[in-house]
């Protein structure tokens, strides 16, 4: 048996739980089509894009905060950044890595803001407000798997979310986070082991 076969089995057990928990987003091909139409000022495409992406962006942005107000504020900021940067997207390239790179920067900048001032809500943008508000998932009691995911470190949560929930490659996550591929692998492996122990009581 290969030396790392046991590790792959452990990771598979933890990841199967995550696969069951994740929502089914719009396909990458459809997202790219919507983004190109959005670049061409197609309002219907913009609304559908928001509806497709907002749930997964909301979960990503909410990883390290239990406050819905902060997560919704970050989601608003993320969409404003996407709107301003929309023409930098290259048609034909994968959309999710581009979107999550923007979301990660919005999250980092947002948390910096909240350390300097009291939390406050800002109005949703006129263009995206109603669609974002509708797309944000209702608060529910977290499943066991997501409670354990939230107990991971920030870097581990990020690696798990981007690799196993959003299905990005190691190279794409490396570009988004600025960490080396090896570092991303290590973060993911530590997360898999912790989840396996938490979910199944195995060491």
Tens-binned pLDDT, residue by residue, of the chain (203 aa): 444 444 444 455 454 444 444 444 588 999 999 999 999 999 999 999 999 999 989 988 887 665 788 888 889 999 999 999 999 999 999 999 999 999 999 988 887 776 555 444 444 444 444 444 444 444 444 455 667 777 778 888 888 878 877 778 889 888 888 888 888 888 888 887 877 777 666 55
| Measured distance CA(72)–CA(45) in Å, rounded | 22
Residues 6+ apart with CB under 8 A from 139: 68
| Measured distance CA(76)–CA(174) in Å, rounded | 25
In the block, which residue shows the tokens 């390239």? 93
pTM: 0.60
């Amino acid at each position: 048996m290969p030396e790392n076969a046991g590790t792959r089995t452990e990771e598979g057990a933890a990841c199967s739980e995550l696969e069951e928990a994740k929502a089914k987003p719009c396909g990458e091909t459809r997202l790219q089509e919507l983004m190109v139409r959005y670049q061409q000022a197609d309002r219907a495409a913009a609304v559908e894009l928001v509806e497709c992406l907002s749930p997964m962006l909301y979960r990503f942005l909410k990883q390290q905060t239990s406050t819905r107000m902060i997560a919704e504020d970050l989601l608003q900021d993320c969409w404003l950044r996407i709107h301003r940067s929309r023409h930098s997207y290259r048609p034909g390239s994968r959309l999710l890595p581009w979107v999550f790179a923007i979301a990660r920067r919005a999250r980092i900048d947002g948390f910096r803001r909240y350390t300097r001032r009291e939390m406050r809500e800002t109005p949703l943008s006129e263009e995206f407000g109603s669609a974002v508000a509708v797309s944000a998932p209702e608060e529910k009691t977290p499943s066991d798997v997501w409670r354990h995911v939230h107990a991971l470190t920030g870097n581990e949560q990020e690696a798990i979310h981007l690799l196993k929930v959003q299905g990005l490659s190691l190279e794409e996550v490396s570009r988004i986070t600025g960490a080396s591929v090896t570092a991303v692998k290590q973060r993911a492996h530590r997360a898999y082991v912790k989840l396996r122990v938490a979910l199944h009581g195995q060491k």
